[in-house]
Amino acid sequence: MTATDSGAAGAPSLPEPLRRRAGEFEEQGFTVVRGLFGYDEIDRLCAEFAALHAAGPVPGLFEPRVPADGGPADPLLTHPRVMHPHEIDPLARDVLLDARLRTVLEALFGEEVLAAQSMFYFKPPGARGQALHQDNFYLRVEPGTCVAAWIACDVIDRDNGGLEVVPGTHRMDLFCPEEADEGLSFAREFVPPPPGLTAVPVDMEPGDVLFFNGSLVHGSQPNRSADRFRRSFIAHYVGRSAERVGSHYRTLTMRGDRVPLPESEGAGPCGSEFAPHGPH
């Protein structure tokens, strides 16, 4: 996956800011576009998901639960992630297919892109993180890989469980994960940083978007803050040349037209979860 080569016959040249983004993405496996969405847009998005949470479960996509005895519970029981919200919410669909995301993504892929998935994470105080992993371990895009657009909906830092990335791992194959620490991660898979490489934090402000390669090792620690959520809207995309993807991912053009792709083997939802924690 490379940016469009402006020297190639017939290939359009990229504006300089996008060329820099594409170069950084190629070198590090990720790039951050600051302020791509306005604070007002993020406020509206958060209000939409607050209303969705208040409305209660949507089977198969969002299923919050409370302890039967009314006692305290794992925060991820009461505020689980929302899977494929674009299929039930027009605003989430608009964000998934946003033209600003498309512009950056096409510079990173060097071709037309297809939207494959959306998610929303509430990550309330006390919630576990997600151990280091690679997204294409789950999507199994063939050939090539996916790209994530990770939209910050709060001030995101190390205290409230911000994202960490391992630069350079985007050039590596998919690793066979180890078992994660269930006390720290809601997902089972854990990919230790390869020798000589280290996870680095990516602090973000509301409206910032982190774009990263599907092979890049990344994850997050628990939200250790007392009263701060770490909300984020996350979308995955594949290049138009992709031939297969996991059956969990239902690809759309950026105009919203369904484009079915044959199923790849070994795919699944982005992070296979441990059994939910009960009251504690």
- Residue in the block written with tokens 């105080």: 125
pLDDT digits 0-9 by tens, 72-128: 678 999 999 999 999 999 999 999 999 999 999 999 999 999 999 999 999 999 999
Task: Locate the DSSP E strands across the chain.
Answer: 30-33, 82-83, 113-121, 130-133, 146-152, 163-166, 178-179, 189-190, 200-201, 209-213, 217-220, 232-239, 252-253
Residue 210 forms beta bridges with which residues?
32, 150
Residue 9 lies in a domain: no
- Residue in the block written with tokens 């294409």: 136
Q: Is residue 6's pLDDT more than 80?
A: no
**23: enclosing H helix or E strand:** helix 16-28
Q: Is residue 50's pLDDT more than 50?
A: yes
Residue 195 lies in a domain: yes
pLDDT digits 0-9 by tens, 172-206: 999 999 999 999 999 999 999 999 999 999 999 99
User: Both tokens of residue 143?
Assistant: 């050939």
pLDDT value of residue 17: 86
| Number of other residues whose CB lies within 10 A of the CB of residue 194 | 13
Domain count, the chain: 1
Residue 246 lies in a domain: yes
Radius of gyration of the chain (CA): 18
Residue 279 lies in a domain: no
Residue 23 lies in a domain: yes
Measured CA to CA in angstroms, residue 50 lies from 56, 215, 274 at distances of 10, 32, 25
Q: What is the mean pLDDT of the chain?
A: 91
Are 83 and 57 spatial neighbours (Cβ–Cβ below 8 Å)?
no
Q: Is residue 10's pLDDT more than 60?
A: no
Residue 200 lies in a domain: yes
> Cα 242 vs. chain centroid, distance in angstroms?
19
pLDDT digits 0-9 by tens, 108-123: 999 999 999 999 999 9
Task: Locate the DSSP E strands across 95-194.
Answer: 113-121, 130-133, 146-152, 163-166, 178-179, 189-190
Range of the domain at 27: 16-59+74-253
The sign of the CA dihedral 11, 259, 137, 104 is: positive
Alpha-carbon dihedral angle through residues 155, 156, 157, 161, given to the nearest 10 degrees: 140
Phi, psi (deg, nearest 5) at residue 249: -110, 120
Residue 69 lies in a domain: no
Q: What is the CATH number of the domain that holds 245?
A: 2.60.120.620
